[in-house]
Chains A and B, each alone.
Chain A
Amino acid sequence: MIPILGYVTLALAFLLTVYGLMAAVMGLVNKSAAWTESARLALLLIFPLMTISVVTLIALLVNQRFDVSFVYSVTNLEMPLYLRVTALWGGQSGSLLFWSWLLAGFSLFFAVRKWQDAADLLPWTLIVVFFTLGFFLMLNVFMESPFERFWHLPDGSQALSVLQPAGAWPITPQDGQGLNPLLRHPGMIWHPPALYLGFVGFIIPFALAVGTLASGRRDLRWFEIARPWTLITWVFLSLGLVLGMRWAYDILGWGGYWGWDPVEIAALMPWLSATAFIHTNIMQRRNNAFRLWNLVLIILTFVLIIFGTFITRSGMLSSVHAFAGSEIGLPMFIFTALLSLGSLGLLIYRWSEFQTGYEPEFGFSKEVLTLFTNLVLLSILVVCFLGVIYPIISELLTDTQITVGPAWYKRILGPLLILLLLLVGICPLAAWSGTNLGRLKKRLWVLLPLSLLGPVAMGVFGGVRHWVVLVALWLVCFSILVIISDYLQKVSIAKLRTQEGLLSAIGAPIRRNHRRYGGVLVHLGIVLMSIGIIGIEGLQQETQVTLALGESVEIQGYTIRFEGLEHFDVGEGIFITEAVLTLNRGGKPVGALYPQREIYLNMGMAITQPGLRSNLAGDLYAVLIDWRPITQDEATFRIFYNPLVSWLWVGTGVLTIGVVVAILPDSFRRKKRFVP
Chain B
Amino acid sequence: MAGKASHVSKSNRLKFIIGGGLFLVAVVFMVISATRATAEFFMTVGELQGSDGDLVGQNLRISGAVIGDSIQYDTGTGQLAFFIAHIPGDQDEIRDAGGLSYVLHRAVTDPDNPRLRILYQGAPPDMLRDEAQAILTGTLNPEGDFIAEELLLKCPSKYEEALPNQVEN
Residues of chain B within 8 A of A357, CB atoms compared: 5-6, 8
Interface string of B100-128 (1 = CB under 8 A from A): 10000000000000000000001110110
Whether B12 pairs with A405 at a CB distance below 8 angstroms is no
Partner of A359, one of B12, B35, B124, B129: B12
Contact status A408-B35, CB under 8 Å: yes
How many angstroms from the CA of A171 to the CA of B129 in the assembled complex? 31
B residues near A359, Cβ cutoff 8 Å: 5, 8, 12-13, 16
C-alpha spacing A408/B137, complex, angstroms: 13
**With A412-B27, A544-B78 in contact, is A289–B5 under 8 Å at CB?**
yes
| Contact A607/B126 with A73-B161, A180-B157 known, Cβ cut-off 8 Å | yes
Interface flag for A433 (CB, 8 Å): yes
A663 within 8 Å of B by Cβ? no
Say how far B146's CB is from chain A's closest CB, in angstroms. 16
Q: How far is the CB of B161 from chain A (nearest CB, A)?
A: 7
Residue of A nearest to B101 (CB): A324
For residue A638, CB closer than 8 A to chain B, the reply is: yes
Q: Is the CB of B38 within 8 A of A411?
A: yes
Q: Contact string, A243-276, partner B, CB cutoff 8 A, digits 1/0? A: 0000000000100000000000000000000000
In the complex, residue of chain B having the shortest beta-carbon distance to the beta carbon of A606: B126
Chain B contributes a number of interface residues (CB within 8 A of A) equal to 61
Given A400-B42, A407-B38, A412-B27, are A604 and B167 neighbors across the interface (CB < 8 Å)?
A: no
- Which residues of chain A from 409 to 452 have a CB within 8 Å of any chain B CB? 411-412, 415-416, 433
Residue of A nearest to B154 (CB): A318
A182 touches B1 (CB 8 A): no
B162 touches A404 (CB 8 A): no
B20 touches A375 (CB 8 A): yes
How distant is the Cα of A320 from the Cα of B162 in the complex, in angstroms? 21
Query: Once bound together, how far apart are the Cα atoms of A220 and B137, in whole Å?
Result: 50
- Known A-B contacts A324-B158, A362-B19, A626-B75; A379 and B27 likewise in contact (beta carbons under 8 Å): yes
Selected contact of A177 from candidates B40, B137, B164, CB within 8 Å: B164
In the complex, the number of residue pairs spanning A and B with C-beta atoms less than 8 Å apart equals 165
A597, closest chain B residue (CB): B126
Known: A91-B160, A404-B39, A404-B40. A411 touches B155 (CB 8 A): no
Q: What separation, in Å, do the CA atoms of A606 and B132 have in the docked complex?
A: 14
A513 to B123 alpha-carbon distance, docked (Å): 54
B137 cross-chain contacts in A, Cβ below 8 A: 405
* Structural contact, A411 and B24, CB atoms closer than 8 A: no
- B152 at the A/B interface (Cβ < 8 Å)? yes
Q: Determine the residue in chain A with the shortest Cβ distance to B152.
A: A320
- In the complex, the chain A residue whose C-beta lies closest to that of B133 is A318
Interface-central residue, A324, A357, A411, by most chain B CB under 10 Å = A324
Beta-carbon contact of A183 and B157 below 8 Å: yes
Assuming the A-B contacts A359-B12, A412-B31, are A379 and B24 also in contact, with contact meaning beta carbons closer than 8 angstroms in the complex? yes
Residues of chain B within 8 A (CB-CB) of A625 are 75, 123-124
Query: Closest CB of chain B to A258's CB: distance in Å?
Result: 14
A183: chain B residues at CB < 8 Å are 157
* Given A160-B163, A362-B15, A412-B30, residue A91 in contact with residue B38 (CB < 8 A): no
Contact check, B123 vs A415: say whether CB atoms are below 8 A apart.
no
**Complex formed: what's the CA distance from A604 to B33 in Å?**
43
**Chain A residues in 8 Å Cβ range of B23:** 372, 375-376, 379
Query: Bound state CA distance, A379 and B158, in angstroms?
Result: 34
A-side contacts of B167, CB under 8 Å? 150, 158, 171, 173
Shortest CB-to-CB span from A349 to chain B, Å, is: 23
Chain A residues whose CB sits within 8 angstroms of the CB of B41 once the complex forms: 400-402
Contacting pair A325 B126 (CB below 8 A): no
Assess whether B89 is interfacial by the CB under 8 Å rule.
yes
Q: Are A404 and B159 in contact (CB under 8 A)?
A: no
Once bound together, how far apart are the Cα atoms of A358 and B5, in whole Å?
4
Whether the Cβ atoms of A386 and B154 lie closer than 8 Å is no
Contacts of A199 in B (CB 8 A): none
CA gap between A604 and B63 in the complex, in Å: 22
B56-100 CB mask vs A (1 if < 8 Å, else 0) is 000001010000000001011010000000000101000100001
Residue ranges of B at the interface with A (Cβ–Cβ < 8 Å) = 1-2, 4-6, 8, 12-13, 15-16, 19-20, 23-24, 27, 30-31, 33-35, 37-43, 61, 63, 73, 75-76, 78, 89, 91, 95, 100, 122-124, 126-127, 129, 135, 137, 150, 152, 154-164, 166-168
Closest 7 pairs (CB-CB, A-B):
A401-B42, A362-B15, A625-B123, A411-B34, A180-B157, A358-B5, A407-B38
Could you jot down 7 A-B contacts, CB within 8 Å? A362-B19, A379-B23, A401-B42, A403-B42, A404-B34, A405-B38, A416-B27
Q: A160-B163, A359-B8 are in contact. List 4 more A-B contacts (CB 8 A).
A: A288-B1, A362-B16, A402-B41, A404-B34
